[in-house]
Structure 1
Amino acid sequence: MAVWSHTCFDLIVCSKGTLFMEENGIQYDIGQGMMLVLEPGKVHRGYRPTETETEVYWIHFQYPLPSKPLLVDKNNWQQPLLIATEQDTEFKPGMIDIPKFATIDLRSVVPLLTDMLKLHRQLTQYRSFELQTLFGQLLTLLQNGMRKSSPQARSFFLGEKVASYLAGCLELPFDSERMELDLHYHFDYLARCLKQYSGMSPMQYRHRLQIDRAKRFLAQSELSLVQIGEQCGFQDHN
């Protein structure tokens, strides 16, 4: 059995059988429908032979290493708004969370992995970009699966729903009772979910969206200040 230490991450997805892996002395039995991420700089080996016919997808990838520990318990999914303009020429700093060792939905994951293999076997400069796009979809899929299975899943998705709701009715006066009726939850609970999601109250989040929209109108339109105020939901023209 080989023993190695890589400078990149290894993402292993088992589609059949069981693979027995060890990382820094910790043993993992990666059964069908499970995944494991091996971290760079740690010692890895197979600690026992497979007992049945086993098939795995194995992806090597690199990612800038943060200064904090790589493996952390996820206890929140806060999504604070980034400051963005219409003149941005570079991607904003991004992040994604994927599980270390978890059960996954092979029905959604395997088709992506199959498409990635097809592209990799006939790789060109154009297909290289497509391959990176598919890999991003795979990581997002793994992240969404982790969110859905977390204790915070309900509050996260409801916070996301509140944020989308507020963005869709900026030009209207703020109405907490209307929000309760439309989203079918008590306003206090909706506010707590949005606070966990964005770090802001509904009014703070709405005001942030209003200011951002007003900036875009001021920079790109010929509308008057009164018209811009109406489009952004400011009831007081002053």
Structure 2
Amino acid sequence: MKYLELAIPPLPSLLTVGHAVWLPGNCHFKRSFDVYDVILVKRGAMYMQEDGTEYAVNGGQLLVLEPGKTHAGSAPCTEETEVYWVHFKHPKALRSLDAAEIPWSAVLPQGHDSDTSPSDQTMYLPKYGDVPIGRLQPLLNQMVQMHMQLSVEHSLQLQTLFCELLKALQTEAKARPGSRASELARETVSYLQKHWTQPFHSKNMEESLHFQFDHLTRCMKKYTGMTPLQYVQYLRISHAVTLLEQTTLSVQEIAERVGIPSVSYFGRLFRERIGISPGQYRNQRQYQL
């Protein structure tokens, strides 16, 4: 199944949600507008086309029509068809990719209380295929009912339910079997998260994960953007930032706590990632507080 990669923030914004039963002979009209149109078929079948590509959306399937593309019914319904639709506003997808290629282990910057803007992140939405309509239906019914009786009191709750729907659809993507390389990247990340305070030894990784270090490195680089050593250094410096902000430990003590006994090497790594020395960072944070 193909998935659309959407940049967040901002989060997608719900515009409308609805439910209907289409009779035989009904056919979707032609249009092109600047929103996403999510069609979920509970039973029956809808026949759609988007920029010339045809889709038969059967019961238990979903189709996401993208903004700026022209879509229309490619044929009328041949049987009674029960449909939910969700329209939402969001920038165009960054790309389309297979479920196995989604970089679940990609490392994202950790936010700090000095940040003034969020880091770039991504979410994933199925383009076309099977979805668990039975499990989604209670949520969809709640959204439809709330939309029909919408008030200021419930507007935020409706947007929250929409995010729950997006989360459920993404969870389905994560549950699908990934490539062996992506799974190995996740196993490597998990190993490093458990052992980052210990001295870094490639042989220990090979013995625990049963793959050569070069292969582990290639897989992790592809799906996280970092080598194993770079990821360990990332974890160490991230933890050091927290200790500088929340404790009075000396720089030497912090370096030792995060697994870097050489304070000069720790200082160099910290400057490379943060841009200033540990002492300068602590002084700036104390001044800001």
TM-score of the two chains, using structure 2 as the length reference: 0.68
- Mapped partners of 1:235, 1:158: distance in 2: 30
State the Cα RMSD in Å: 2.8
Structure 1 match to 2:21: none
- Mapped partners of 1:113, 1:187: distance in 2: 47
Q: Do structure 1's residue 194 and structure 2's residue 254 form an aligned pair?
A: no
Counterpart pick for 1:224 among 243, 250, 254: 250
Q: For 2:56, what is the secondary structure of its paired residue?
A: strand
Structure 2 match to 1:6: 33
Deviates more, 1:199-208 or 1:136-145: 136-145
Deviation string, structure 1 residues 177-212 (Cα, Å, up to 9, x no partner) = 544565x44253443332222111111111111112
Structure 2 match to 1:234: 260
Deviates more, 1:201-210 or 1:45-54: 45-54
Asked whether the 8 Å contact 1:86–1:216 carries over to 2, the reply is no
Counterpart pick for 1:173 among 199, 205, 211: 199
Q: For 1:86, what is the secondary structure of its paired residue?
A: coil
Per the TM alignment, residue 157 of structure 1 is displaced from its structure 2 partner at its CA by 3.9
Deviates more, 1:103-112 or 1:190-199: 103-112
| Amino acid in the other structure paired with 1:99 | P
Structure 1 match to 2:46: 19
Asked whether the 8 Å contact 2:101–2:179 carries over to 1, the reply is no
Q: Do structure 1's residue 114 and structure 2's residue 114 form an aligned pair?
A: no
Q: What number of residue pairs does the alignment pair up?
A: 233
Asked whether the 8 Å contact 1:116–1:131 carries over to 2, the reply is yes
Give the number of the structure whose residues are more often strand, by fraction.
2
Q: Do structure 1's residue 40 and structure 2's residue 67 form an aligned pair?
A: yes
Structure 2 match to 1:95: 122
TM-score of the two chains, using structure 1 as the length reference: 0.81
- Mapped partners of 1:160, 1:128: distance in 2: 38
Structure 2 match to 1:159: 185
Q: For 1:61, what is the secondary structure of its paired residue?
A: strand
- Mapped partners of 2:114, 2:164: distance in 1: 26
Deviates more, 1:10-19 or 1:161-170: 161-170
Structure 1 match to 2:232: 206
Q: For 2:234, what is the secondary structure of its paired residue?
A: helix
Asked whether the 8 Å contact 1:71–1:100 carries over to 2, the reply is no
Asked whether the 8 Å contact 2:66–2:92 carries over to 1, the reply is no
- Mapped partners of 1:21, 1:32: distance in 2: 14
Deviation string, structure 1 residues 32-87 (Cα, Å, up to 9, x no partner) = 11111112223222232222221121000010236xxx653458434243363233
Q: For 1:95, what is the secondary structure of its paired residue?
A: strand
- Mapped partners of 1:178, 1:125: distance in 2: 57
Asked whether the 8 Å contact 1:77–1:196 carries over to 2, the reply is no
The change in CA–CA distance for 1:21 and 1:202 in structure 2 (over 3 A counts) is same
Deviation string, structure 1 residues 106-135 (Cα, Å, up to 9, x no partner) = 344334323433443443445333333332
Query: Runs of 5+ in structure 1 lacking a partner?
Result: none
Deviates more, 1:14-23 or 1:75-84: 75-84
Asked whether the 8 Å contact 1:171–1:230 carries over to 2, the reply is no
Please list, as runs of the form range in 1=range in 2, the aligned pairs for 1:68-87 lying within 5 A after superposition: 72-74=96-98, 76-78=101-103, 79-82=106-109, 84-87=111-114
Q: For 1:97, what is the secondary structure of its paired residue?
A: strand
Deviates more, 1:156-165 or 1:23-32: 156-165
- Mapped partners of 1:156, 1:137: distance in 2: 26
Asked whether the 8 Å contact 2:50–2:70 carries over to 1, the reply is yes
* % identical equivalent positions: 35
The change in CA–CA distance for 1:154 and 1:229 in structure 2 (over 3 A counts) is same
Query: Runs of 5+ in structure 2 lacking a partner?
Result: 1-26, 265-289
Report which of the two structures shows the higher radius of gyration computed on alpha carbons.
2
Structure 2 match to 1:52: 79
Asked whether the 8 Å contact 2:47–2:73 carries over to 1, the reply is yes
| Amino acid in the other structure paired with 2:126 | P
- Comparing both chains, which one has the higher relative contact order based on Cα–Cα distances under 8 Å and sequence gaps of 6 or more? 2
